[in-house]
Amino acid sequence: MSDAVVVKNLSHSFHGHQVLQDITFRVEKGETFGLLGPSGAGKTTLIRILTGQLRQEAGTAEIFGRDAKSPEGRKRGQIGAMMDSFGLYERLSVYDNLAFYADIYHISRAVIPDILKSIGLYEGRRTAASKLSKGMKNRLSLARALMGSAKLLFLDEPTAGLDPATTKEIHAVLAKEKEKGTTVFLTTHNMLEAEKLCDHIALLHNGSIMEYGAPADIRKKYDHQNRLCVTLKGGERVMLEKGSASAQRMKEYLEKDMVETVHSTEPTLETVFIELAGKGLE
């Protein structure tokens, strides 16, 4: 089986409010998948269902071919999860939080220093979790998710509250996990992050998936203008249709060293989301 996650016609509600409605998608083994949407879209609810913390009202959710609700679907060591500061012990130090988790799941404590170094927490290993900033708690939660060498990582907003330098470090860690063959399932409202990291994405709004596919394919699908915007050195902007008809004109601009910049009118994921949902992600 080539799929790590398969979700079919999944729905769930809380107190009569529909949180997820007829959700269907799949995540291949070894890929990085992004579930994108604003706060309240249903991203965290879906991860809780996939990690067995919550039972859906309808539809199916499978992890490596097993029902996500079953013990086999949540087999120890098979999945790791990072969900805000879930499961952190405020009185314990950074190191002891991971040591406690390692002992429960029979993981060698010897891996802790390297994991803390990889996410920039090694210097603060003796600091109590209660004294960490939100960004540092995020990193500690990620460290715990990485502890067991899981085949599938669920990461709920892994870079929320982090500065650009630390975000870059986390992206590097996730890239290494992918190189190892780990499947990464992340939620985010950061469209640029999704374009950089994800092989496939699903755009979630009001509990429904509006679009699914590779980021580049989605952007091309909604490229209504299908043009190149050429800014000449004199400041003039010229719109050219993409295709052979404009090739000669572009060739002349380049031969005469007239071109300042060339941009495609292809939209960003953010503009696609706005077109579909009628609003942005904030």
pLDDT for res 86: 66
Report the interhelical angle of 134-146 vs 164-179 (nearest 10°).
10
Q: The tokens of 61 are what? A: 């959710």
pLDDT digits (tens, 9 = 90+) for 137-146: 888 988 998 8
Q: The tokens of 149 are what? A: 């060498």
pLDDT digits (tens, 9 = 90+) for 253-268: 888 888 888 877 778 8
Query: How many CB atoms sit inside 10 A of residue 179's CB?
Result: 9
pLDDT above 70 coverage of the chain, percent: 94
Instruction: Tell me the torsion sign for CA atoms 21, 26, 27, 33.
Output: negative
8 A C-beta contact, residue 178 and residue 35: no
The amino acid at residue 139 is R
Sheet strands side by side (includes 58-63): 17-28, 3-14, 58-63, 66-67
- pTM equals 0.81
Distance CA 199, CA 216 (A): 9
pLDDT digits (tens, 9 = 90+) for 61-107: 999 988 988 766 555 558 888 876 567 899 999 999 999 989 988 88
pLDDT for res 46: 93
8 A C-beta contact, residue 219 and residue 57: no
Q: What is the mean pLDDT of the chain?
A: 87
Average pLDDT of the segment spanning 248-254: 85
Query: How many CB atoms sit inside 10 A of residue 58's CB?
Result: 13
